[in-house]
Every structure is written in structure tokens, then in C-alpha cells.
Amino acid sequence: MKKFTYFTSEFVSPGHPDKVSDQISDAILDACLADDPNSRVACEVFCTTGLVVVGGEITTTTYIDVQEIVRKKINEIGYRPGMGFDSDCGTLSCIHSQSPDIAMGVDVGGAGDQGIMFGGAVKETEELMPLALVLSREILVRLTKMMKAGEIAWARPDQKSQVTLAYDENGNIDHVDSIVVSVQHNEEVSHAEIEKTVIEKVVNPVLEKYKLNTENIKYYINPTGRFVVGGPHGDTGLTGRKIIVDTYGGYFRHGGGAFSGKDPSKVDRSAAYAARWVAKNVVAAGFADKCEIQLSYAIGVDKPISIKVDTFGTAKVDEDKISEAISKVFDLSPRGIEKALELREGKFKYQDLAAFGHIGRTDIDTPWERLNKIEELKKAINL
């Protein structure tokens, strides 16, 4: 009998309470950077029934209308009157300027805080991402689009998915073990209709795209049988509570720092993007089939304190040589990362990343997904 190892990743929709908070935080960041690219922003959002609280530290030369940003984003996500939470909610703003003790370290090009950041890449998909996370995300991208287009009229914004894959003894994906989808819905629809629609119109088209073995798949669609009360009305939302969803679905390690609401001087965000950029180029260069990069920083210091490469036994090149090549090819100082990854240039919206994940996106041209350092890395290793 074959022995399998099981790995699971989950994803949540833009209407999940924590994702509502993430998107509002990043919408405020986008508004600041649009008029003042040098804005310092650390914006946190709390949302619950009838109330959104915006707090944190913002230093900027521009004016932002917090109420307008909050209401516009909630409406865009799809919450309407009668759902327990909508754009006609109370908003409370508690914002002050950045601490001068932090600012003096950032002003000279140093990191905005200490911390550890991870990035990874693996040959499981074309975009070099873990397949379980990609499947979970694509299920909700499809479901959300169909909800907004009115193709699934009973669906509401709060949705979650989860995919479990079975790996054989050689570490290869053998089959899809189970799919979990929970979707908020109106009062009228039956559970049988929800189950049929989600499996046939949402899940199966995604699985067919990847030509996976689904012979003995198990489905869990709205397992409790009812999900009418949802969103911030059913569960309080808070910025930064979906860091695993935002990255690799648990496949690679995470340093613990959230992304949303933070300007690029915060290495929690910028260095995590950079670590993905490095890892993806390492794998694409053929140095390994799987690679995880750890970076560490100290507040006010303009270079990483450490760089660690882990290829999980898949390296075709010595890991020490890979690490040396990374140090030569990539400028991983906070300002170097900001410049190379175009983090203050307004070429993409941070709020769009908050909606469907920051890593491995193929629908947005994010610089940390570009394979533009392969030849330099090969040259640095004399290949």
C-alpha cells in the first residue's frame, strides 16, 4: 500500500473580515503614496458590526479622506445593506505621526524595524509556487468573480477555501485528497444547491486546469450546513491576521510580520518581497528545485544582518556558493529593495495585493515575481 504525506493550504476571499481590514489599510497606504511617495505609514484597521476603526502612525504631506476610503472599499468588496455590515457604517480615525526615534533610523536608509523575513519558490507550478496555495486561491478568485458578476446570485462576500494534497514517498504530488469551501449565502438558497454549484461551477474547472488525480477526492462544502451571518458582522476583522494566506499557505516559514498598511521602509513587507524575488530567481536559474531564503535586519542598519539559503536537499549547486552569489547580485538594503522592486512608484496598488495575496500573482506585474537576475546569478557562480 502506498504511503502518503498530506499538506494543506487555505485561502480567504476579499470579503473575509481580516481581509476587509487588510484592504482598507492598504487603500490608505495607496492614497498616501499617490501624492507623497515618501510617506511613512503604519496603518491598522479593526472592523466589526457597524464600525471601522483606523489607527496607527502616518507621516505624510498629503491629505487623505479616511471615511471616503473606508466606505469606497467596503462597497467595492460587495457588502450591501441587509448583510449586517455595509459602507454606511461608523468610522473612527485614531492616527498620529511616526515616532521620531524610529524615523531617525529610516532617514539614513536603515530598516524601519528589526525582524526576520522569509521567501520561497518551488517547482510545483509555472509561477514556482506551492500548488495547494495556488489551488485554494484560484477557487476563491473564480468564486468571487462569479459572485460579483451575478452568476451566483445567492453568494455573499465572505468565503474560505482549503485544499489538501497527498504527496508520495518521493515528494511528488499523487492526488487531491480533499477540498473545503465555505461561502456566505442568503437565506433562501438550499444547501444542496450551494454544494452542487460550488463543486460543478467553481472547484471542478480549477482542478481540470491542472489535470490532477481527483478520483477519490472528498468535498466539504459549507460543512455546518449554514453560513448566512458572516463578514465583520459575524467575526471581527483585524489587519495582519492572514499572513500565511498572504504568502505561501504554510509551505515555507514565516517571520511573523504582516504586510498590509506598511510603507516600504518596513522590512516586514519589503524584505519579504525581496526574499521571494531572490528565491524565485535561484530556482528558475536551475540551482535547486526548492529554495527558501531567510533575511534578518536591525532597526536603523542599512544591510541585512544575515542571509540564509535552504534548498531542502534539492540543490544542484553548493548552498554556500548560492549564498555568496546572492550577496553579489542583489542589493538587499532597505533602499536598494525599494528601488529595485519599484515599491514607491505607484505601478501597482497594494490594496489589490491585500485582496488575493502578495506572492505568486500572475495577474499583476509585481517586480518581485520577475526572473531578471538569472544570468547574473549564473555568472556569479561561474556557470
For 26, phi then psi, to 5°, come to: -75, -25
Residue 99 pLDDT level (bands cut at 50, 70, 90): low
321 is in an annotated binding site: no
Q: Is the pLDDT of residue 105 over 70?
A: no
Domain count, the chain: 2
Q: Give the torsion sign (CA, 17, 18, 20, 21).
A: positive
226 is in an annotated binding site: yes
Half-sphere exposure of 187 (CA within 13 A, CB side): 2
* 363 and 291 together in one domain: yes
CA distance 243 to 253: 11
Residue 98 pLDDT level (bands cut at 50, 70, 90): low
* pLDDT (average), residues 47-57: 96
Amino acid (one-letter) located at 328 = K
CA distance 182 to 17: 14
Find the distance separating the first CA and the last CA of the chain, reported in whole Å.
Answer: 43
184 is in an annotated binding site: no
The per-residue pLDDT for range 349-362, each reduced to its tens digit, is 999 999 999 999 99
Q: How many CB atoms lie within 10 A of CB 22?
A: 33
175 is in an annotated binding site: no
Q: Is the pLDDT of residue 107 over 70?
A: no
* 305 and 214 together in one domain: no
Is residue 45 a part of any domain in this protein? no
- pTM of structure: 0.95
235 is in an annotated binding site: yes
195 is in an annotated binding site: no
67 is in an annotated binding site: no
Is residue 193 a part of any domain in this protein? yes
CATH label of the domain that carries residue 143: 3.30.300.10
Burial environment of residue 217 by CB neighbours within 10 A (0 to 12, 13 to 18, 19 or more) = middle
Is residue 106 a part of any domain in this protein? no
3 is in an annotated binding site: no
227 is in an annotated binding site: yes
241 is in an annotated binding site: yes
Is residue 227 a part of any domain in this protein? no
242 is in an annotated binding site: yes
351 is in an annotated binding site: no
57 is in an annotated binding site: yes
Amino acid (one-letter) located at 362 = T
158 is in an annotated binding site: yes
Is residue 22 a part of any domain in this protein? no
Alpha helices in the chain (DSSP H): 17-35, 66-77, 100-106, 131-148, 191-197, 204-210, 231-234, 243-246, 267-284, 319-329, 334-340, 350-356, 374-380
160 is in an annotated binding site: yes
Burial environment of residue 231 by CB neighbours within 10 A (0 to 12, 13 to 18, 19 or more) = buried
